[in-house]
Amino acid sequence: MIILGLNAYHGDSAACLVRDGAIVAAAEEERFRRIKHWAGFPTMAITYCLNEAGVALGDVDIVAVNSDPGASFLKKVQFTLLQRPDFRFVVDRLRNQAKRQSIESELAAAFPSAVFKGRIVRVEHHLAHLASCFLVSPFHEASVASIDGFGDFSSAAWGIGHGTAIDVEDRVHFPHSLGVFYQAVTQYLGFPNYGDEYKVMGLAPYGQPRFLAEMRKIVRLRERGRYELDTSYFRHHREKIDYAWEGGSPHVGTLYSAALEELLGPARSKEEPLSDRHRDLARSAQAMYEEAFFHLIGHLHERHGVDSLALAGGCAMNSVANGKVLRQSRFKRLYVQSAAGDAGGAIGAAIQAWHQADTAKAVAVPVVQPRSLAGDSIAGRYIMEHAYLGPETSSDDIAELLEQRNSELSANGCIVTRMSDESALCQVTAEAVARGDVVGWFQGRMEWGPRALGNRSIVCDPRRADMKDILNLKIKRRESFRPFAPSVQREYVGEWFEEEGDVPFMMQVYQIRPEKRSAVPAVTHVDGSGRLQSVYRETNSRYWQLIDAFRAATGVPMVLNTSFNENEPVVCSPQEALDCFLRTRMDLLVLGDWLVRRDS
């Protein structure tokens, strides 16, 4: 059985392909369109997934979509009758719902020479999120939670997962939402772009939570892990908000009302310098989110008594809160997949549709043994222990590209060398990193999700206190308060971090041990933390070998890892990697077995 999973008509549009219960390919549309968080119908990602699997659209049995416009119908009617929102708000919602029901016509328009003979399966938004974390996790049983902005009239859902089934026990419905709370504060703090919440999370450690009392007026905790908003501080429930979800960069209009400025003071403009007040507001918003988050998961542990937790939804991208789960809750194991946000719903919809299908009962799923993640192999389940599900480029194609652009490379003073010995390649690259070079590292299949995890990465020396400034000068040009992350060999996590655990997808922030912080200042945030990626030899041998060579030379079993891009989506193809290298001041580019170095 072949299932195509989609996240469509929303930010981070994406596609994945599942064959007989195993994930074959997955990618976000932004990587092909070269527009961050691209929203719309993911035609190019679908094309990639079909090509990677060697199938045509006509071979697909099911197209599973992470949205069911018919979900929560009675709740929608009840809200409309009781709240009587602006008429334009209702019309806009109906228009969006109609658009989301046109999958067949979208497929016909995108693939005019193919005939889709299968069926469309709609998976409710939060069930898709829950499936995306639990049904690919190494846990036979776990508490599960999905927390985000909104999807299918809910902003959160939680329950228990067991074997191949998920029991959704409770929800938070529109208009209450932790995701909307955090996004509204993000806008209020002068970060207007879709997806800017991570900037507030990065800014928060520089402040103090002195506005927490005000935040508690905005978000109120309720019984059974629930929470609600004081809606007087928001606009999304009563007015038509400008949303753009089709064919380009997503946009969300202002979510907060004038009452929020009366409570917190004037909003920051995008150009206004950051002050201590803004830093304190960021810290307070993060603290409020964590209060509500731990209130919810505390209820889950008390209810189920299960020590494993699987998280998904856009709020599960809050790696700071995630990193405190094992320290501040009674949970002992945590799984957050690499695309926890809406893109991950493509995998969730496909995997959920697979387990719902009658055929699944008769097919032996090729279970991936969890060599690196703590857990047990589970009958009938595919375990997602790595994120390398995107396109890759052969060595011959890279050689052809470099030959085609030989004159351009020569004009830029570049020397090209091929190294077929992997150990020597990693050794030479590690020596360059140890010298302080900024290295573009392009290998294997592209990562699934927003994090570069050692195949589309820029790699640097974490020991240099000035490396953040060097990176921002040469390539990134981003805010000084935003941290860079460490990729650390899994064997050394406990030696360098206060928490011991598996963090393959860079979704948790841990405290670096106090005695180690001065050794790696470039990846140590102001509060002593680091958003680590634990690297396993079994799942990314070449990247592990690079770090091992750096460890042998320096005694430090980690490198600074940031995404291979320059204010654009992470590079997908070797052409994009080469373009980024040439237009920036990167020192060395490693394309597969090929080294491209500036002769200077």
User: Would strands 219-221 and 165-173 be described as parallel, antiparallel, or unpaired?
Assistant: unpaired
Name residue 57's beta-bridge partners.
Answer: none
**Do 413 and 552 fall into the same domain?**
yes
Give a yes or no: residue 73 inside a domain. yes
pLDDT at 96: 57
pLDDT at 373: 55
Output the domain CATH number for residue 113: 3.30.420.40
Residues sharing a CB contact under 8 Å with residue 258, sequence separation 6 or more, in sequence order = none
pLDDT higher than 70, residue 548: yes
**Do 427 and 357 fall into the same domain?**
no
pLDDT tens-digit profile of 205-244?
999 999 999 999 999 999 999 999 999 999 999 888 888 8
| Of 406, 489, 387, residue with least CA distance to 444 | 387
pLDDT higher than 60, residue 451: yes
**Do 547 and 415 fall into the same domain?**
yes
Between these two residues, 378 and 504, which has the higher pLDDT value? 504
d(CA 213, CA 340): 30
Side-chain half-sphere exposure of 137, counting CA atoms within 13 A? 32
Share above pLDDT 70 across residues of the chain, in percent, rounded to a whole number: 91
Give a yes or no: residue 496 inside a domain. yes
- Helix orientation angle between 422-434 and 541-554, rounded to the nearest 10 degrees: 50
Output the domain CATH number for residue 496: 3.90.870.20
| Of 124, 107, 125, 127, residue with least CA distance to 116 | 107
**Do 358 and 414 fall into the same domain?**
no
**Do 445 and 563 fall into the same domain?**
yes
Share above pLDDT 90 across residues of the chain, in percent, rounded to a whole number: 85
pLDDT at 405: 98
Q: What's the predicted TM-score (pTM) here?
A: 0.94
234: left (phi over 0), alpha (psi -120 to 50) or beta: beta
Beta-strand ranges (E) seen in 514-557 are 529-530, 533-535
Give a yes or no: residue 84 inside a domain. yes
d(CA 305, CA 236): 36
Structure tokens at 416: 């090209």
pLDDT at 244: 81
| Of 432, 442, 462, residue with least CA distance to 580 | 442
**Do 488 and 554 fall into the same domain?**
yes
Give a yes or no: residue 225 inside a domain. no
d(CA 52, CA 94): 36
pLDDT tens-digit profile of 279-307?
999 999 999 999 999 999 999 999 999 99
Of 26-30, 55-59, 72-76, 186-190, least confident by mean pLDDT is 72-76
**Do 440 and 355 fall into the same domain?**
no
pLDDT at 525: 96
pLDDT tens-digit profile of 396-438?
999 999 999 999 999 999 999 999 999 999 999 999 999 999 9
**Do 356 and 399 fall into the same domain?**
no
pLDDT at 370: 44
pLDDT mean over 19-30: 97
d(CA 185, CA 189): 6
Helix (H) or strand (E) holding 252: strand 251-252
pLDDT tens-digit profile of 94-111?
555 555 558 999 999 999
pLDDT higher than 90, residue 549: yes
Angle at 129 between CA 123 and CA 135, to 5 degrees: 90
Give a yes or no: residue 48 inside a domain. yes
Name residue 171's beta-bridge partners.
Answer: 157
Give residue 86's pLDDT band: very low, low, confident or very high (50, 70, 90): low
Q: How many helices (H) and strands (E) does the chain have?
A: 21, 24
Query: What is the domain count for the chain?
Result: 2
**Do 349 and 470 fall into the same domain?**
no
Structure tokens at 441: 């590292």
pLDDT mean over 162-184: 97
Name residue 530's beta-bridge partners.
Answer: 510
Q: What range defines the domain where residue 26 resides?
A: 2-127+340-362
Side-chain half-sphere exposure of 595, counting CA atoms within 13 A? 21
**Do 449 and 548 fall into the same domain?**
yes
Give a yes or no: residue 30 inside a domain. yes
**Do 353 and 421 fall into the same domain?**
no
pLDDT at 539: 96
* DSSP string covering 265-322: -SPPPTTSPP-HHHHHHHHHHHHHHHHHHHHHHHHHHHHH--SEEEEESGGGG-HHHH
Give a yes or no: residue 556 inside a domain. yes
**Do 413 and 475 fall into the same domain?**
yes
Give a yes or no: residue 322 inside a domain. no
Give residue 113's pLDDT band: very low, low, confident or very high (50, 70, 90): very high
pLDDT higher than 70, residue 84: no
